[in-house]
Amino acid sequence: MKEKGFTIIELMIAVTVLGVLAALAAPSFSYLIANGRHQASINALIGAVNLARVEAVKRGGQVTLGSISGDTAWTGGYRVWVDSNADNSLSTGEEVIRQYDPAKGELTLVGDVSFISFRATGFATAASAVNVCSGNENVTGRSIGVSISGRVAKLDYTCP
């Protein structure tokens, strides 16, 4: 009479094959997570730029998007506010429209300026860019550029 089931050798082979497949999939999975975070940060930044531009037109005055720290390192978070005195810094009594959390993981956001301002016409006060880089060398960096006309462009960027 034959017994039903698997032998210990068959189980060991199955576990070994499963381990090899898991080892091959793990690097790809970590890349997917890093790339997903990177894309989410890029999309949030583009959304913030578009929000600032739309609010400037809607409110008929200057609206600014800037780093919370006030310098060119945007990694600590950024916010959009009504810049009623047009000084490009958040002053007492100015309304914060939206505040964004710091970048997650090994992401860095560094701009060539600490703020991007839009006039009531929807035009930016100056052309500028913010670069988004990941700690994962396999993820391509992106530069989010804003032209004087207020147009947003997403370009490949070589991270340092």
What CATH number corresponds to the domain at position 14?
3.55.40.10
Short-list 68, 71, 73, 69, CA closest to 81: 68
Short-list 65, 62, 49, 64, CA closest to 150: 49
**CA–CA gap between residue 84 and residue 66 (Å, rounded):** 15
Which alpha helices (H) appear in the chain, and where do they start and end? 8-59
| pTM of the predicted model as reported, rounded to 2 decimal places | 0.81
Rounded to an integer, the average pLDDT of 46-67 is 95
Does residue 53 lie within any of the structural domains?
A: yes
Does residue 102 lie within any of the structural domains?
A: yes
**CA–CA gap between residue 53 and residue 116 (Å, rounded):** 10
Domain hosting 152: range is 8-157
CB 68 within 8 A of CB 99: yes
CB 124 within 8 A of CB 147: yes
Does residue 1 lie within any of the structural domains?
A: no
Quote the pLDDT of residue 47: 95
Tens digit of each residue's pLDDT (9 = 90 or more) over 105-131 = 788 889 889 999 999 999 999 999 999
**CA–CA gap between residue 80 and residue 71 (Å, rounded):** 15
Tens digit of each residue's pLDDT (9 = 90 or more) over 72-92 = 888 889 999 999 998 988 888
Quote the pLDDT of residue 62: 96
